[in-house]
Amino acid sequence: MSDSAVFSKHRPTHPEIAARFPDLHPPFDKQSATVESNRCLYCFDAPCTTACPTHIDVPGFIKKIASGNLAGSARTILDANILGASCSRACPVQVLCEGACVMHRYNKQPIQIARLQRFAMDALHQSGAALPFAPGPDTGRSVALIGAGPASLACAAELRRRGIRAIIYETRPLPGGLNTYGVAEYKLPLVESLREIEMLSGLGIDFHFNERVDREMLVHLEREHDAVFLGVGLGAIHQLGIAGDQLAGVTNALDFIAGYKSGAILTVPQRVAVIGAGNTAIDAANAARRLGATSVHMVYRRGPEKMSAFAFEYEHSKQEGVQFLWHVQPIGIRGSKTVEALNLIQLAAAVDDSLIPLPGSELELPVDLVILAIGQATHSAFLAEAGSAAKIAFDGGRIVIDRATGQTSHPKFFAGGDCTNGGREVVDAVADGKRAGIGIAAWLEVQHGRQ
């Protein structure tokens, strides 16, 4: 049975969370959006469109804002990117569309593409209009999608537009994957992610929540459906594997972020250490500051030049008041019942770039909460044992796909998003899901002929 109605009542954001995580980039009002849209040069062969993984016709949607055709603008966005609303809030545009804007060549501010995109999408949501697409005529074919993250949602939308049934199975009680549970609340509030998916579900996607697909179920789904799409994302955060890492007061960034976004975590203790230096670590550190920690240290084995977080995210976290401890490695966590201190040792880089602990350089950082953000595991083990899915090829834990169609080495299985690219951005997962939806439809047509 479908659970589509489960998320139809939007979960109101906890007032405490709403107050602490206001919009990082406030929306445009009508006048500002009109002024900004008129700055666009409407380039032919627009580099912003090329730089967008979903290839939204950026000049096209901006021109429609300039002429007051907001519904047409939203349609142009959605035609290329069915999660255009969440992407307008979550995309790291500095390294995508806005980074490619020709205005940079003239030493001018790039066009604020994401804020304009949000303006058009917000207008559509506020108008109460339905998604401007209808499901295609029924083909009698069906596809099971594992995971309700951006990759599966984008794939499901393409399938439904082609008259193919899309049935999504999701472990969690709500859809959206990391869009709902991971992206920082000051970028994409949980409630906005749900609002967007609710509109999308108008295409007739079937959702089954609280349903973890295990090996046996995957075998069953393969038998029951014409194809299977794997949009399972990445797995749990790695453990540290040092003394004390099971103490109360040690958590991981995914649980921590999902906890505050859903209103289950409203405050943190005074002193927090975040271990890692990627974008997830930054998000956790910033959130800890906003939830009341007076001292938040990010702890990393190398220097700032090696951190995997975007440079603009690093700058942002400094403004949030996060402090950094470089070239140190945790060697233990001290505490009786709960965490009291993080034990660290300084590291030096050898000629071959390996890291060597410096004897006698141990130090102790008093902390009340330790948040691990040292990378996520993959789901390769689960898939490698699931019946004929075991034939799916992996490379370094990532599912290998044909990038044009999303097809894996097992013809009936397709995949996209973080489980295939090792963890990138929402817009990459949407682009993958879209390609796979089109790829599945084309493959089914070859297998069964046009319906």
Question: Does the protein bind ligand SF4 through residue 329 (CB under 6 A)?
Answer: no
Binder to ligand FAD among 59, 189, 231, 406 (CB under 6 A)?
Answer: 231
Q: Contact, 86 vs 77, CB < 8 A?
A: no
Task: Supply the minimum distance, in Å, between the C-beta of residue 144 and ligand SF4.
Answer: 27
**Dist CA 9 CA 152 (whole Å):** 22
Burial letters 218-230, b for 16+ CB under 10 A, else e: beebbeebbbbbb
| CB of 425 vs ligand SF4, minimal distance in Å | 8
Residues 266-305, interacting with ligand FAD (CB under 6 A): 280, 283
Nearer to ligand SF4, 91 or 124 (CB): 91
- Choose between 62 and 344: whose C-beta lies nearer to ligand SF4: 62
Q: Among ligand SF4, ligand FAD, none, what does residue 88 contact (CB within 5–8 Å per kind)?
A: ligand SF4
x/- track of binding to ligand SF4 for residues 111-140 (CB under 6 A): --xx--x-----------------------
Torsion sign (Cα): 416, 421, 422, 427: negative
Query: DSSP of 268-332, one letter per residue?
Result: --SEEEEE--SHHHHHHHHHHHHTT-SEEEEE-SS-GGG--S-HHHHHHHHHTT-EEE-SEEEEE
Nearer to ligand FAD, 11 or 187 (CB): 187
Helix (H, G, I), strand (E, B) or coil at 342: strand
Q: Where are the beta strands (DSSP E) in 129-194?
A: 142-146, 165-169
Site for ligand SF4 in 55-114 (CB under 6 A): 56, 58, 81, 87-88, 91, 93, 96-97, 113-114
Q: Which residue is nearest to ligand SF4 (CB)?
A: 52
Q: Which does 212 bind (CB under 5 to 8 A by kind): ligand SF4, ligand FAD, none?
A: ligand FAD
From the list ligand SF4, ligand FAD, none, pick the one residue 265 interacts with, judged by a Cβ distance below 5 to 8 Å according to partner type: none
Sequence-separated (6 or more) residues with CB below 8 Å from residue 50: 100
Q: How far apart are CA 205 and CA 146, in angstroms?
A: 13
Q: What is the DSSP code string of 202-231?
A: GGT-EEE-S----HHHHHHHHHHSSEEEE-
Contact pattern for ligand FAD over residues 114 through 153, marking x by CB under 6 A: --------------------------------xxxxxxx-
The site map against ligand FAD for 198-217 (x = CB under 6 A) is: --------------xx----
Distances (CA, A) of 301 to 104, 276, 348, 355: 35, 8, 9, 8
Q: What is the length of the chain?
A: 451
Q: Among residues 39, 172, 302, 334, which is the contact residue for ligand FAD, using CB under 6 A?
A: 172
Is residue 427 close enough to count as binding ligand SF4 by CB under 6 A? Answer: yes
| Sheet strand arrangement including 250-252 | 250-252, 369-372, 271-275, 295-299, 323-325
Please identify, using beta-carbon distances, which residue of 131 and 265 lies nearer to ligand SF4: 131
Whole-angstrom distance, CA of residue 103 vs CA of residue 255: 40
Cβ atoms 101, 113 nearer than 8 A: yes
**Residue 276 near which of ligand SF4, ligand FAD, none (CB within 5-8 Å, type-dependent):** none
Q: Report the relative pairing of strands 271-275 and 369-372 from DSSP bridges.
A: parallel
Q: Give yes or no for residue 188 binding ligand SF4 (CB under 6 A).
A: no
Residue 169 binding: pick among ligand FAD, ligand SF4, none (C-beta 5-8 Å cut-off by kind): ligand FAD
As a whole number of angstroms, the distance between CA 181 and CA 103 comes to 35
Stretch that binds ligand FAD, among 121-129, 180-188, 290-298, 330-338 (CB under 6 A): 180-188
Please count the CA atoms within 13 angstroms of the CA of 397 that sit on its side-chain side.
13
Residue closer to ligand FAD, measured from CB, 122 or 418: 418
Residue with Cβ nearer ligand SF4 (40 or 56) = 56
Closest distance to ligand SF4 from the beta carbon of 191 (Å): 20
- Look at residues 154, 158, 167 and name the one whose alpha carbon lies nearest to residue 207: 167
2 class by beta-carbon count within 10 Å (0-12 exposed, 13-18 middle, 19+ buried): middle
Which of ligand FAD, ligand SF4, none does residue 97 bind (CB under 5 to 8 Å by kind)?
A: ligand SF4
169 binds ligand FAD (CB under 6 A): yes
| Sign of the dihedral defined by the CA atoms of residues 364, 370, 372, 373, in that order | negative
Please report whether residue 90 would count as binding ligand FAD according to CB under 6 A: yes
The interface partner of residue 111, options being ligand SF4, ligand FAD, none and the CB cut-off 5 to 8 Å by kind, is none
Q: Which residues bind ligand FAD (CB under 6 A)?
A: 90-91, 146-152, 169-172, 177-179, 182-184, 187, 212-213, 231-233, 257, 280, 283, 417-418, 423-427, 429
Interacting residue ranges for ligand SF4, rule: CB under 6 A: 52, 54, 56, 58, 81, 87-88, 91, 93, 96-97, 113-114, 117, 427
